[in-house]
């Protein structure tokens, strides 16, 4: 049994099912769940449940431990491409950004939080160097539409400081989305749960697109692996420094040029994998 904790459009689950795996797809988005159920209806080894990947201990408690857990962090292409979901700074729509159907929208977050908290969100989740003026302008204008929010960012950042390779509102929209959906908190919950989610020999794979998330995964995996300080030649670790996991790849796995050509959104993806060894 493999849990696809971010089912999305079902692409990863389909690839696993085609190779003979039994897959439980989990997603907080009811629209994504329904679409994936239709797409994967021909696979009897597939099932789906609504939930947050950070809550897999509760969502899949009757199936644990499992052989594998996969999560693909960030917003899915179907969510990004639908203007009404409010994720895109290039498409007109309500400033929503919720991956599920509950909780505050991005517009509500801007209206309800004070300027200092907005600045913290932009700095921490977006690593935005102009967090202070952007937070001030968002509070002044209180946008309720995506293009309104993008224009607010443009007004707050000096034109000569706009980045060359990404839209000037990219970091702001990323930060608001992460805050609305509590993405970092969900990731931390998932990583803490891995020892109980996986059976011995089971693997966890995390695909991240943001340096903050990738750093969190890298550091947590390193702590899970541990470091044995026993003298060379000891048949088993006696110092207690070696953890219950091992890295499948010492470095993050990046997409190939062919993958990026086929899916440009994969260009910043980092895949890290650990295996439970005891």
Domain parsing of the chain, residue ranges: 2-72+183-276, 78-181
pLDDT band at 101 (very low <50, low <70, confident <90, very high): confident
Provide the 8-state DSSP code for 9: T
pLDDT of amino acid 87: 85
Q: Is the pLDDT of residue 245 over 70?
A: yes
Over the stretch 247-266, which tens digit does the pLDDT of each residue have? 999 899 999 988 888 888 78
Q: Is the pLDDT of residue 146 over 80?
A: yes
Number of neighbouring beta carbons within 10 Å of residue 242: 18
Over the stretch 11-42, which tens digit does the pLDDT of each residue have? 999 999 999 999 999 999 998 999 999 999 99
- Name the class of domain 2-72+183-276: alpha beta
The contacts of residue 197 (CB under 8 Å, 6+ apart) are: 3, 56, 57, 60, 64, 65, 66, 69, 204
Closest CA to 265 of 87, 137, 116: 87
Residue holding tokens 């190939």? 256
Q: Is the pLDDT of residue 234 over 80?
A: no
Give the H/E segment covering residue 183.
helix 183-197
Residue holding tokens 């988005």? 29
Contact 180, 97 (CB under 8 A): yes
Closest CA to 153 of 141, 144, 87: 141
Superfamily grouping for domain 78-181: Putative methyltransferase TM0872, insert domain (1.10.150.170)
């Amino acid at each position: 049994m493999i849990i696809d904790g971010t089912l999305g459009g079902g692409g990863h689950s389909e690839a696993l099912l085609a190779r003979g795996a039994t897959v439980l797809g989990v997603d907080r988005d009811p629209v994504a769940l329904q679409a994936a159920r239709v797409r994967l209806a021909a696979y009897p080894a597939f099932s789906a449940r609504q939930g947050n990947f950070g809550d897999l201990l509760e969502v899949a408690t009757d199936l644990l431990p499992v052989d594998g857990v996969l999560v693909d962090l960030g917003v899915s292409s179907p969510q990004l491409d639908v203007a009404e979901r409010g994720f895109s700074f290039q498409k007109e729509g309500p400033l929503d950004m919720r991956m599920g159907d509950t909780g505050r929208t991005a517009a509500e977050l801007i209206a309800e939080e004070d300027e200092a908290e907005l600045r913290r969100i932009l700095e921490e989740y977006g690593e935005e160097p102009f967090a202070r003026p952007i937070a001030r302008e968002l509070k002044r204008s209180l946008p309720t539409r995506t293009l309104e929010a993008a224009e607010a960012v443009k007004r707050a950042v000096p034109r000569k400081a706009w980045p060359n390779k990404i839209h000037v509102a990219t970091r702001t929209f990323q930060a608001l989305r992460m805050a609305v959906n509590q993405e970092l908190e969900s990731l931390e919950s998932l990583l803490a749960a891995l020892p109980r989610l996986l059976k011995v020999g089971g693997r966890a794979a995390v695909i991240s697109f943001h340096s903050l998330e990738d750093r969190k995964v890298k550091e947590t995996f390193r702590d899970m692996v541990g470091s044995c300080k026993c003298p060379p030649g000891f048949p088993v670790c006696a110092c207690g420094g070696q953890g219950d996991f091992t890295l499948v790849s010492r470095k993050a796995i990046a997409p190939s040029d062919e993958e990026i050509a086929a899916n440009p959104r994969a260009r910043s993806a980092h895949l890290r994998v650990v295996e439970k060894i005891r």
